[in-house]
A and B are shown apart, each in its own frame.
Chain A
């Protein structure tokens, strides 16, 4: 028996894909992904309509999706993150039905519960064998972890693995096993390596970013959580990486041995593990080549599924054991609610990803952001979109001071004792608006273009169209 088929057309026929079905994709190939566009193009050629796309994330490279929406091929979209290009079209109302935004943990939870059923999962795999055992660790399009694809493989009615590195059976070092896979398709290329992983992720050299990063590292040190066994997650943004670097310096100086580093993994987290700051890395997604190399060669660098990363429906997940997470924000309001979905004009340009999952799980969730961006205060009265509830955010670090959620008075005391510049979040807003002035509230349209579903499946907020 062989699961290898010759073309997407053949698969569409074999699987009897019909109008109105849901097809799913993962985003490990990030902005280098060819697979989502390739599959939708084939489905469109077949004349299929009214499809729902459930992608763990949508990047700017998926711009052709807008055309498929306009032509009625795609009428439903579910994602955890949507980049600015497709996001803008959504905000302008291209899709009749609201987008469903989930979180990285909420998506596998909803898929496993059956509230987000998938008819056919198309899994881009940098290496696969003829029976569908597949991995992201090897091949010319290597992306490291395939964490977001596990739930699709496990719960979709049908599963297709698409690879540009077909190897003889059995591929032993697989991530997703053959037991879930119906068909395997070999193509010339599943993605552009330059867009899949950035060659290097760089620490910011911006002096303001470095000030924030230093405050963040010192705040972690002062929090009482920096001790043997600490677990840690940080984003791939410049100041977040710099904070990790400063934290590493502190951990090495003080001889602190952490437990695990979590999340999207960068070179800096790999360096921290190799320097002895962490026993292991739990990796749902690799951000750069160093992370890919590490997950391939170091058994202490472990691939985990999105479900194990953050699903509230799992019997346990890693974010529940997380001590500290550093996150970003496009806006934060005086109740500490955070927006990572829209820009200041209301256009969709992101999504929760693991933001609200890690904030909910971590003992200390820290936002790091410059107090003003371009012409606006980062601190506002009310965020345009509530991506992460304020009661799960503990600390806001800006270059002008650190605001602590009043729900955590003991943290504020610890920071003050350490000489950190603690101030009220309203004071930060006042300082920012002293520089920028008070902006007029933007007026959004009446149409709901997206529903933001919290990790537990409840509706957290809606995003309105931009007029």
Chain B
């Protein structure tokens, strides 16, 4: 399930120890903004050991490395890739060429380590105007790119506008990212909602992101995770409909029917796929489904 991804500072052992029990579907172990330049090496070792020893069975593991214009990113990858995180998040990706630089380096590491190609996936963090404009090119640059995150804070700085709770200033960017990712067949995560104490605002923001087509939403606070999960989870009505769809499809197969309809609407492959996704998500949430 990919509803919530949670940023965790890579230099805080106490938080790393419990990173995967906070309910987030993915945890982003951060080597970039959360860590001062003087502590980069310590955080890198800490995050490496956390993945190695803690296993993180309950969440996907995403490591945000330092940006490609720093001296740190290759060392980050050298230390982290051998421990097979699910994703490497690369910040400040503005062009397909950018992400291909990271892809090439990881490919070499994977070859050296004897890993199957694309074992470690990429999640570019798009947070510049140029990145938004190039979103589809980035999303489809390499099969290693399997998800994308929109970073609203840096983006609005680049756009020279104010970041607001309403988020009108990033409406175009959000839509553009969703369309690019869906066109490329990858997942897309929305920017974090940064007011930790405004649960109502968070839910509104997450609902809006969901309505645009985002897969899920990132968060900087463990307190936001449950609400994000709730917003991006299928509703009981979704689940009931999916169960009906699967039942009709089963019946059609048994009767050898090619085309079936439910309440006057033809049930085709996309609807079945959607039903399967809904039921998988529901099961992962612990909802009991009698099939």
Contacts and interface: CB of A to CB of B under 8 A. Distances in A.
A209 to B, nearest CB: 10
Contact of A211 (B22, B53, B55, B286): B22
Given A211-B23, A435-B53, A435-B54, A372 B17 contact: yes
| Listed residue (A207, A210, A400) with the most chain B CB atoms within 10 angstroms of its CB | A207
A340 B82 CA distance: 43
Nearest to B222: A207
A400 B56 CA distance: 11
B18 interface: yes
Given A434-B53, A435-B53, A435-B54, A208 B288 contact: no
Nearest to B225: A207
A373 to B, nearest CB: 11
A399 interface: yes
A418 interface: yes
Contacts of B55: 434
| Listed residue (B53, B226, B286, B287) with the most chain A CB atoms within 10 angstroms of its CB | B286
B247 interface: no
B45 interface: no
A175 B171 CA distance: 66
A210 B288 CA distance: 25
A279 B270 CA distance: 53
B278 to A, nearest CB: 17
B97 interface: no
A435 B49 CA distance: 11
Given A417-B288, A419-B286, A435-B53, A207 B223 contact: yes
A399 B21 contact: yes
Nearest to A436: B17
Determine the interface band of chain A, counting residues with CB < 8 A from chain B.
10 to 19
A399 B18 CA distance: 8
Contact of B18 (A208, A417, A434): A208
Interface string A371-386: 0100000000000000
B285 interface: yes
A214 B222 CA distance: 13
Nearest to A419: B286
Interface in A20-65: none
Interface in A431-445: 434-435
B269 to A, nearest CB: 30
Contacts of B226: 214
Contacts of A211: 18, 21-23
B128 to A, nearest CB: 31
Interface string A398-418: 011000000000000000011
A418 B21 contact: no
Given A207-B222, A214-B226, A434-B55, 7 more contacts: A208-B22, A210-B222, A210-B223, A211-B23, A399-B21, A418-B286, A419-B288
28 contacts: A207-B18, A207-B22, A207-B222, A207-B223, A208-B21, A208-B22, A210-B222, A210-B223, A211-B18, A211-B21, A211-B22, A211-B23, A214-B226, A372-B17, A399-B18, A399-B21, A400-B21, A417-B288, A418-B286, A419-B285, A419-B286, A419-B288, A434-B53, A434-B54, A434-B55, A435-B17, A435-B53, A435-B54
Interface of B: 17-18, 21-23, 53-55, 222-223, 226, 285-288
Top 10 A-B pairs ranked by shortest CB distance?
A419-B286, A207-B222, A399-B21, A208-B18, A207-B22, A211-B21, A399-B18, A400-B21, A211-B22, A435-B17
